[in-house]
Structure 1
Amino acid sequence: MVYPIAKRLFDLSVACLASIVFLIPILIIAAAVKITSKGPALYWSDRVGRGNHIFRMPKFRSMRVDTPAVATHLLTNPGAYLTPIGSFLRKSSLDELPQLWCILKGEMSLVGPRPALFNQHDLIALRTERGVEALVPGLTGWAQINGRDELPIPQKVKLDEDYLRRRSFLLDLRILFLTAAQVVRSHGVTH
């Protein structure tokens, strides 16, 4: 019982600190998105959270406003939909910064399975079958550092299930450290 409370306090502390540290970059990125493409700076998508409840998750908009609402790997030519700074935002993972808001609200954690899109029925069903829907989704996760966008859904869910069984504060710290290393290398990001 101590782990969930400690995890939430850690999430709140880090999200508060990160919100302060990244305030100026967040404002600069928002302005850059607005200046370089039509539409709002933020893109809000319906995501599946703990217990398969839908919540709204923000990202800096890296795709044009006319992009279909599907997972990027399902687009025929995802690069054609990128905004002028979209590729940079995705490779640097800066498009994820607005999700600090979801962590502060308790809809997300720093570490957990990445929240599925509302229409990723195969991923949602498999996670539910394996009990993974009991976890709070994360900004990063075990599957993220073991393949990210390159993983097929069954393998991703197997890693999510592995995290469910092994989760601990030390594992979360390891995942955060390895995520930071991957972000620096832009490893495993599709467009």
Structure 2
Amino acid sequence: MIFRVFKRMFDFVSALLLLIAISPVFFLLVLMVRVKLGSPVFFTQERTGKDMKKFKLIKFRTMTNEKDKNGKLLPDEMRQTKFGGFLRSSSLDELPELLCIIKGDMSVIGPRPLPPIYDDYYTDKELKRFCVKGGLIPPDSIDDNAVISWDEQFEYEANYAENLSLINDMKIFFNVFKIIFQRKETDYGNFVRKPLYEERKNRDNRGE
């Protein structure tokens, strides 16, 4: 309980100070996204947070809004841009999430908040990830690979929620620069992972 109070205080103060410190970079990115990708500058989407409560996550846009002849958005891989890939690989697209942390919807460290469409596809153990707030820096940052499977990601997140502690947070926090380097080295910005619901539906159909 004491650590949770400390964690919230740390989240608020650190996010606020960091947002103030990087405000010139933040506004430069706003301008660059507007010029290169158009309007809107921000991408907002409903995500599932602590205790399965929904909130609006905000990021910088990394894709265009190109649509097919029927007015439907093209697949993600067709709407990616070189600049958007750079934002994702460098994690700069996630800077607006500092606002979510200040508001209290997210934490600096915690499971990555995912869309509600995934809510029905978690195992009982994986649902433990919702005992804590979603985070900007995920527990799987300590993994040696920038791109991991859904199963591996959820294993890290469930274990994190079960073993919430200052030591674990410090270990994950000091790996943040490693994960950013790994993302740039592996072209993470252009990686498109199969949606969880699609992957697990296919698995169920195969009887796995």
Measured against the shorter chain, the TM-score band is 0.7 to 0.9
Alignment of 1:10-29 (within 5 A): 10-29=10-29
Counterpart of 2:92 in structure 1 is 94
- Structure 1 pair 17–5 and aligned structure 2 pair: CA distance change class (3 A): same
Greater Cα shift, 125-134 or 18-27: 125-134
Contact 1:37 1:84 in 2 (8 A): no
Alignment of 1:134-153 (within 5 A): 134-146=131-143, 150-153=147-150
In structure 1, how many angstroms separate the alpha carbons of the residues matched to 2:124 and 2:95? 25
Task: Give, in angstroms, the shift of residue 65 of structure 1.
Answer: 2.2
- Structure 1 pair 149–102 and aligned structure 2 pair: CA distance change class (3 A): same
Task: Give, in angstroms, the shift of residue 180 of structure 1.
Answer: 2.0
What RMSD, in angstroms, separates the aligned Cα atoms of the two structures?
2.3
1:173 equivalent to 2:178? Answer no
Percent of aligned pairs with the same amino acid: 27
In structure 1, how many angstroms separate the alpha carbons of the residues matched to 2:142 and 2:63? 24
Counterpart of 2:42 in structure 1 is 42
Task: Give, in angstroms, the shift of residue 64 of structure 1.
Answer: 1.3
Contact 1:126 1:157 in 2 (8 A): no
Deviations 1:88-114 (Å, cap 9, x if unpaired)? 100100000000000001100000100
Task: Give, in angstroms, the shift of residue 181 of structure 1.
Answer: 2.3
How many pairs are equivalent?
182
Q: Give me the TM-score of the superposition, normalised by structure 1.
A: 0.85
In structure 1, how many angstroms separate the alpha carbons of the residues matched to 2:93 and 2:35? 16
Q: Which runs of 5+ in 1 are unaligned?
A: 68-75
Contact 2:128 2:162 in 1 (8 A): no
- Structure 1 pair 146–132 and aligned structure 2 pair: CA distance change class (3 A): same
Counterpart of 1:33 in structure 2 is 33
Task: Give, in angstroms, the shift of residue 118 of structure 1.
Answer: 2.0
Counterpart of 2:70 in structure 1 is none
Structure possessing the higher radius of gyration over alpha carbons: 2
- State which of 104, 108, 111 in structure 1 corresponds to 2:109: 111
Task: Give, in angstroms, the shift of residue 34 of structure 1.
Answer: 0.5
Alignment of 1:122-137 (within 5 A): 123=121, 125-126=122-123, 130-137=127-134
Q: Which runs of 5+ in 2 are unaligned?
A: 68-73, 191-208
Q: Give me the TM-score of the superposition, normalised by structure 2.
A: 0.79
Residue type of the partner of 1:168?
S
In structure 1, how many angstroms separate the alpha carbons of the residues matched to 2:189 and 2:82? 16
